[in-house]
């Protein structure tokens, strides 16, 4: 028994060491960083303990801009992508021929490099001195016109970011919803048909409640994912997001840590903890709301 126990710990050792050093210690350490005032990265000294870092971050216009951008992104993309995924997977599960092909195609964005494909989106939306770009060409067919989505007005940039984000997160949602729809037992639909239930009523009264746990799961992971948005924005607008006015909270954290304005792990820690607090709050609210809805 004793020997067995030692063996087990030996098997666990590599994981425990790695997790301890790179996950648990940093988790505690980030709290320490966030309250150390005037931390100097070179000499690794600090002057005092307090909430100054938080106060600095909360008064930093770049941070406020990042928070605003992130919230707009979350509010626009989470409902859009969930509803779109629901529409697509419902349509997908009601057809037979070509279903596999469509499923494969829809999943492609999941396996592609966000940074690389982001460049393609930039090219599609960008307006340069040589050309207005493809999207503007299409807009001109409808008499609208030319807008620089990459270096132009803030709303246009936000639109591209949201569009790209939806494009990137849809594969996962479609996949999850399609398998959720497939798991609904066929006899429920047969029973409903015998009872003369209309298509819309079947969808809202049977299908939707049956897959609602999966929708809740998608909304929550969607919120968390969207709050952590960063690389999509980098892909579209380059690494200097502050200058483009398109920074996100995560982007702010990394910029504080490293890069042109970097070298402030204390500020980064404070911002990261604020982000974590926001995500946790929203998740809890989400859970409370859906719990009540489901138990009704």
Partner 1 sequence: MRGVNVKDKTNLEQQQRARSRRSGLATALRYLFLSFWAVMVLFPFYWMVLTSLKGYGAYNAEHTPVFFTLSPTLENYANAFTAVPLGGYLLNTLIFSVITTAVMVVVSTLAAYAFARLRFRGKNLVFGLFLSMMMIPTELVVITNFVTITDLGLRNSFPGLILPSITSVFYIYLLKENFEQVPDELYKAAKVDGTSDLKYLWKVMLPICRPTLVTITILKLIECWNSYVWPRLITDDSAYFLVSNGIQEIRENGFGRENIPAMMAAVVVISVPLVLLFLAFRKKIMEGVSRGGTKG
Partner 2 sequence: MNITLENLTKRFPARGRKAQGETVAVKDLSFEIPDGMLVGLLGPSGCGKSTTLNMICGLEAPSEGKIFFGEEEVTHLPPELRGVGMVFQNYALYPHMTVLQNILFPLENLKGEERPSRSEMRERALETARLVQIEELLDRRPKELSGGQQQRVAIARALVKMPRVLLLDEPLSNLDARLRLQTREEICKIQKKTGIPTLFVTHDQEEAMSISDRIVVMKEGVLMQQGRPQEVYDNPANLFVAKFLGTPPINVLEGEVSGGMLRLDGQPVLPVPGAEEGPVYVGIRPEGFRPDADGPMACGLNRVEVLGRETSMVCTHPACQADTLRAILRSEEEAEAQSGQVRFSLRPEKVFLFRRSSEERIRFDCPARAGA
C-beta of residue 46 within 8 angstroms of C-beta of residue 56? no
Cβ atoms 270, 278 nearer than 8 A:
no
One of 52, 102, 159, 189 touching partner 1 (CB under 8 A): 102
Contact between 244 and 157 under an 8 Å Cβ cutoff? The reply is yes
> Of 13-21, 62-70, 188-196, 248-256, which part binds partner 2 (CB under 8 A)?
188-196
**Residue 282 touching partner 1 (CB under 8 A):** no
Among 210, 214, 220, 244, binds partner 2 (CB under 8 A): 210
Under the binding rule (CB under 8 A), the answer on residue 233 touching partner 1 is no
Q: Is 190 in the site for partner 2 (CB under 8 A)?
A: yes
- In angstroms, rounded to a whole number, what is the distance separating the alpha carbons of residues 35 and 31? 7
Binders of partner 1 in range 116-145 (CB under 8 A) = 116-117, 119-121, 123-124, 128, 130-134, 137
Give counts: helices (H), strands (E), the chain: 15, 2
Question: Which residue lies nearer to partner 2 by CB, 197 or 261?
Answer: 197
C-beta of 293: minimal distance to partner 2 in Å?
Answer: 11
Q: Please work out, in degrees rounded to the nearest 5, the angle formed at the alpha carbon of residue 273 by the alpha carbons of 270 and 277.
A: 135
At residue 49, φ and ψ (nearest 5 deg) are -120, 135
Residue 293 in the binding site for partner 2 (CB under 8 A): no
Which of residues 201, 238, 260, 281 is near partner 2 by CB under 8 A? Answer: 201
8 Å CB contact between 269 and 218: no
CB 136 within 8 A of CB 145: yes
Closest CA to 168 of 77, 279, 275: 77
Among 31, 191, 284, 289, binds partner 2 (CB under 8 A): 191
Q: Cβ closer to partner 2: 154 or 193? A: 193
Which residues lie near partner 2 (CB under 8 A)? 185, 187-188, 190-198, 201, 205-206, 209-210, 212
């Amino acid at each position: 028994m004793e020997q067995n126990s030692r063996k087990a710990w030996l098997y666990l050792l590599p994981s425990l060491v790695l997790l301890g050093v790179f996950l648990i210690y940093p988790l505690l350490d980030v709290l320490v960083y966030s309250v150390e005032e005037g931390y100097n990265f070179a000499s690794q000294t600090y002057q005092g303990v307090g909430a100054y870092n938080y106060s600095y971050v909360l008064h930093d216009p770049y941070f406020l801009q990042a928070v605003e951008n992130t919230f707009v992104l979350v509010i626009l993309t989470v409902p859009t992508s969930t509803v779109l995924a629901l529409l697509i997977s419902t349509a997908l599960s009601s057809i037979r021929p070509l279903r596999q092909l469509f499923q494969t195609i829809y999943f492609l964005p999941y396996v592609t490099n966000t940074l690389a494909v982001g460049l393609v989106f930039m090219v599609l939306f960008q307006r340069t001195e040589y050309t207005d770009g493809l999207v503007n060409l299409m807009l001109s067919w409808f008499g609208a016109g030319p807008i620089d989505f990459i270096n132009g007005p803030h709303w246009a940039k936000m639109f591209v970011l949201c569009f790209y984000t939806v494009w990137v997160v849809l594969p996962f949602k479609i996949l999850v919803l399609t398998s959720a729809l497939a798991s609904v037992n066929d006899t429920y639909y047969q029973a409903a048909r015998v009872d003369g239930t209309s298509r819309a009523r079947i969808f809202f009264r049977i299908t939707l409640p049956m897959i609602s746990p999966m929708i809740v799961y998608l909304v929550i992971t969607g919120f968390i994912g969207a709050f952590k948005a960063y690389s999509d924005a980098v892909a579209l607008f380059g690494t200097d997001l502050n200058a483009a006015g398109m920074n996100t909270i995560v982007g702010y954290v990394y910029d504080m840590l490293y890069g042109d304005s970097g070298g402030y792990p204390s500020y980064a820690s404070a911002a990261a903890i604020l982000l974590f607090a926001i995500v946790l709050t929203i998740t809890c609210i989400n859970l409370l709301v859906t719990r009540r809805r489901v138990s009704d």
